[in-house]
């Protein structure tokens, strides 16, 4: 056309159409490429999002587990020493004063444990002073009380042979009975002091427990008959021969059977039984008294512990008998316990190893 020559329209149209088709084809290829690239990027973005979610979940789980572990560690680091302190507090309530509480814990609780140990040491010193005082006073009181008792007995014998009034005899009898009561109290204090100090001597010899039970039952039977109380025995004769300190086990039986009669109302009954068990010889003393409140069952064997029972608040004691009983049973390697139901009675049981 620039040369001034004619150019066929058909050729022009064909070339134009080819050019347009080429452009369109390139545009299609570009479109397809863009779409493919976009899809790939979206897919990669989705995969990245999925991976990020997994990483977030894993990190969350790791953080949660770490938090739980740290919480448990901190909790145990605090609750464990507090549990030890609580346990030691229970020992104090039972009359024991442990001063060896050592805790690996935060400084505040460590200071509390040190203060606790100091308190226990002071309480132990006070308890020892008290025991030493009672022991000393018991020794000092025994001789004059024995003298008073013997002098009173001589006066009673003299009055029986001569002239005397009923009032004089009654007063001397009261003096004699009270002297006996004080002497028994002094002896109990001395026995308990020796037991707590580990100075009580025991003479273990083969003994038939059934015979000891029969002996004590016969001793207490007159007192029971005066109040129409029946003492029943159910004994495992012949197979209860074990090594014990005869005098101390008699002391245990006199205390338990005597208490059963003391706290049983008139017309009631007391049952004493013995039988062989896997651990050794089991002895039980059952009464039909007023029973012991559940709150006092765990402390009934503590020294100076006295329980006011329904209908028996006029009956008083020293609070030493059951503590001495427990010391004797423990020294024999046995165990003692009590079961009781209010208004139905109590059962004191102990086991002595064969």
The label of the residue with tokens 């002297």 reads: 179
Instruction: Specify the pLDDT at position 105.
Output: 62
- Which has more confidence, 4 or 261? 261
Quick: pLDDT tens for 138-187: 666 666 777 777 777 777 776 666 666 677 777 777 887 777 777 777 77
The label of the residue with tokens 């979940």 reads: 57
Say what percent of the chain tops pLDDT 70: 81
Instruction: Specify the pLDDT at position 159.
Output: 66
- Checking if the pLDDT of 205 tops 90, the result is yes
Quick: pLDDT tens for 55-66: 888 888 888 888
* Residue 66 within a domain: no
Please check whether residues 335 and 218 belong to one and the same domain.
Answer: yes
Instruction: Specify the pLDDT at position 332.
Output: 93
Give the best-scoring range by mean pLDDT among 8-22, 105-119, 140-154, 293-307: 293-307
* Residue 327 within a domain: yes
Average confidence (pLDDT) over 89-98: 69
Kindly give the interhelix angle for 209-226 and 246-262, rounded to the nearest 10 degrees: 30
CB-CB neighbours of 122 under 10 Å: 12
The label of the residue with tokens 């149209």 reads: 13
Confidence band (pLDDT; 50, 70, 90) for 340? very high
Instruction: Specify the pLDDT at position 281.
Output: 92
Please check whether residues 148 and 171 belong to one and the same domain.
Answer: yes
Say what percent of the chain tops pLDDT 90: 25
CATH of the domain at 133: 1.10.287.130
Confidence band (pLDDT; 50, 70, 90) for 238? low
CATH of the domain at 210: 3.30.565.10
Please check whether residues 222 and 334 belong to one and the same domain.
Answer: yes
* Residue 61 within a domain: no
* Residue 129 within a domain: yes
pTM: 0.59
- Checking if the pLDDT of 8 tops 90, the result is no
Average confidence (pLDDT) over 11-32: 76
Indicate the number of domains in the chain: 2
Please check whether residues 219 and 347 belong to one and the same domain.
Answer: yes
Please check whether residues 192 and 213 belong to one and the same domain.
Answer: no
* Residue 225 within a domain: yes
- Alpha-carbon Rg for the chain in angstroms: 46
Please check whether residues 224 and 180 belong to one and the same domain.
Answer: no
Average confidence (pLDDT) over 237-264: 87
CB-CB neighbours of 256 under 10 Å: 24
State which residues form the domain around 242.
Answer: 204-353
Mark which of 154, 175, 196 sits at the end of a domain: 196
Confidence band (pLDDT; 50, 70, 90) for 99? low
Please check whether residues 175 and 251 belong to one and the same domain.
Answer: no
- Which has more confidence, 305 or 267? 267
* Residue 86 within a domain: no
- Checking if the pLDDT of 291 tops 70, the result is yes
Confidence band (pLDDT; 50, 70, 90) for 313? very low
């Amino acid at each position: 056309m620039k040369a001034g020559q004619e150019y066929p329209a058909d050729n022009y149209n064909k070339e134009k159409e080819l050019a347009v088709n080429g452009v369109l084809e390139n545009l299609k290829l570009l479109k397809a490429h863009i779409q493919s690239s976009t899809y790939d990027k979206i897919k990669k973005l989705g995969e990245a999002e999925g991976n990020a979610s997994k990483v977030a979940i894993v990190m969350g789980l790791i953080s949660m587990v770490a938090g739980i572990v740290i919480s448990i560690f901190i909790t145990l680091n605090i609750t464990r020493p507090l549990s030890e302190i609580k346990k030691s507090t229970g020992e104090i309530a039972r009359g024991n004063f442990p001063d060896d509480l050592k805790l690996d814990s935060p400084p505040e609780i460590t200071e509390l444990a040190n203060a606790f140990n100091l308190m226990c040491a002071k309480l132990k010193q006070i308890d020892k002073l008290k025991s030493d005082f009672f022991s000393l006073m018991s020794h000092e009181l025994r001789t004059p009380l024995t003298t008073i008792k013997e002098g009173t007995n001589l006066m009673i014998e003299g009055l029986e042979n001569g002239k005397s009034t009923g009032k004089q005899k009654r007063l001397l009898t009261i003096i004699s009975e009270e002297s006996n009561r004080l002497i028994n109290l002094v002896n109990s204090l001395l026995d308990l002091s020796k037991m707590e100090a580990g100075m009580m001597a025991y003479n273990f010899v083969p003994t038939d427990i059934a015979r000891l039970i029969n002996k004590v039952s016969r001793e207490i039977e007159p007192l029971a008959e005066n109040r129409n109380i029946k003492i029943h025995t159910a004994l495992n004769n012949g197979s209860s021969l074990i090594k014990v300190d005869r005098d101390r086990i008699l002391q245990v039986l006199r205390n338990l059977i005597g208490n059963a009669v003391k706290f049983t109302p008139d017309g009631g009954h007391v049952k004493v039984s013995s039988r062989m068990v896997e651990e050794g010889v089991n002895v039980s003393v059952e009464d039909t008294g007023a029973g012991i409140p559940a709150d006092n069952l765990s402390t009934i064997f503590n020294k100076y512990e006295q329980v006011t029972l329904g209908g028996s608040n006029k009956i008083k004691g020293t609070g030493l008998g059951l503590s001495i009983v427990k010391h004797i049973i423990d020294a024999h390697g046995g165990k003692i316990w009590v079961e009781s139901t209010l208004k139905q009675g109590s059962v004191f049981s102990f086991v002595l190893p064969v």
